[in-house]
Amino acid sequence: MKLPWYKMLGPGLLYAGAAIGVSHLVQSTRAGAEFGYGLIWAVLLANFLKYPFFEIGPRYAASTGKSLLDGYQALGNWALYLFIGITISTMFIIQSAVTVVTAGLVSEITGLMVEPWIISAGLLLVCLGILLIGDFSFLDKTMKLIIVLLTLTTIVAFGFSLLGNSEQYTMYLKTFSFSDNGNVLFLIALMGWMPAPLDISVWHSVWAVEKSKEINQKIPLKTALLDFKIGYWGTLFLALCFVGLGATTIYGTGIELEASGGGFAKQLIGIYTNSLGDWAYYLIAIAAFTTMFSTTLTCLDAFPRVLAPTTSMIVKKEYEKPNNTYWMWLMIVVVGTVVILSLFLTNMKEMVDFATKIAFITSPILAILNYLVIHGKTMPEENKPSLFLKVLSWVGIVYLIGFSIYFIWLSVNL
């Protein structure tokens, strides 16, 4: 029996759950707080130019019944080695960044006065337990509830903030300038994870394959792309809302955003309660926490979920999840993240900026790999992207390479 289209939705919302985290709650809010609406163009540009590379995930999975990992393998083992190298070199810092923001929210909500890395370790253990007893279906259903909750609270908060009378002082008003190296470095950090790291295109293709197995039928390309567009453009809308919240409640007040996880979490929740009233504290706190917790959980599942089959492909061994390789990578991610947070965490804002910049630098490589796969021999000709998306991909690759080179040059010459 063929399911109705709306019951085939899911991977797109998992994408949204992974994307709506640091790039939205932290970076977008900071953009609005520091430059008002001056960086709206950057948010729009990043989403527009990265669109074809994210769309490749569900397009390839729906057209072939396989994930992008199989597409990489078709290019040659060099592509798999390149992907696994990028993933391993970035996964600990990415997992650390999303986990420490979540830990900051826990500290603010509960009042726990302990080291952030200890709270982070506890969160990772909880996530580990969920993954041990849960499955894809659990993630799929939970994410739908979380995304609806966050969307509603964010829209309402932004609407009320527009009605408020946020006091601004001319001396504190800032405008973005390309002549200011600090401004440019923040721009790169903002666009690096906007709307998300390109790794998620691979995760999305894996989730799409898992969804097909769960419902025991192939998801049509049209439905897969609809699911993706709901998640993708929904995350853009929420990013603009977070920029707006920062602009209407902090910009021009002279208030500096905190660098610590707990301090930032307190300010973030304060943005909402200032707009809605103190009665909304726990509603907003729960929405913010569940959003970041879902990002932490989704990332923790995604890294071993893609590394396990990649490892099996390299050693030419058949892969079936769950297996020992999945659990091995899961434990490696958990232990590595705890080590980084316990030894190297001094400033949440710096860690987030570092993670987003690394994501930006690796983006051109993943973009080119995705382009080669979607226009390669394993992709059915009739399902390949349109000429418009093909040209947009070229523009996007030039943008990613150019901006990455500029960032490296700027970093060396500072």
Q: Mind listing the pLDDT tens digit for each residue in 70-92?
A: 999 999 989 999 999 989 888 88
What pLDDT is stored for residue 262 in this prediction? 63
- Rounded CA-CA distance 98/127 in Å is 13
What pLDDT is stored for residue 168 in this prediction? 60
What pLDDT is stored for residue 149 in this prediction? 78
Per-residue pLDDT averaged across 193-222, rounded?
A: 86
Q: Mind listing the pLDDT tens digit for each residue in 23-59?
A: 787 788 889 988 989 999 999 999 999 999 999 999 9
**DSSP secondary structure letter of residue 218:** P
More confident residue, 404 or 318: 404
User: Considering the chain, what is the average pLDDT of its residues?
Assistant: 83
What pLDDT is stored for residue 401 in this prediction? 93
Q: Please, where are the H alpha helices in 65-115?
A: 68-75, 77-110
Ordered by start, the domain boundaries in the chain are 5-413
What pLDDT is stored for residue 118 in this prediction? 92
Per-residue pLDDT averaged across 189-200, rounded?
A: 85
CA 238 to chain CA mean position, Å = 13
Per-residue pLDDT averaged across 208-227, rounded?
A: 85
Task: Report CA-CA distances (Å) from 222 to 12, 53, 174, 226, 309.
Answer: 13, 17, 44, 6, 27
Q: Mind listing the pLDDT tens digit for each residue in 307-353?
A: 988 988 888 766 555 478 888 999 999 999 999 888 876 666 676 66
- Looking from the CA of 317 toward its CB, the CA atoms found within 13 Å total 12
- Rounded CA-CA distance 122/130 in Å is 13
What pLDDT is stored for residue 382 in this prediction? 93
Q: Mind listing the pLDDT tens digit for each residue in 145-185?
A: 777 777 887 788 788 777 765 566 555 677 888 888 888 88
What pLDDT is stored for residue 317 in this prediction? 64
**DSSP secondary structure letter of residue 25:** I
What pLDDT is stored for residue 135 in this prediction? 61
What pLDDT is stored for residue 295 in this prediction? 85
- Say how many C-beta atoms besides its own lie within 10 A of residue 85's C-beta: 12
| 378 confidence band (pLDDT: 50, 70, 90) | very high
What pLDDT is stored for residue 8 in this prediction? 59
| 204 confidence band (pLDDT: 50, 70, 90) | very high
- Rounded CA-CA distance 35/262 in Å is 23
Residue 260 has pLDDT above 70, yes or no: no
What pLDDT is stored for residue 119 in this prediction? 93
- Say how many C-beta atoms besides its own lie within 10 A of residue 347's C-beta: 12
What pLDDT is stored for residue 347 in this prediction? 61
The CATH classification number of 5-413 equals 1.20.1740.10
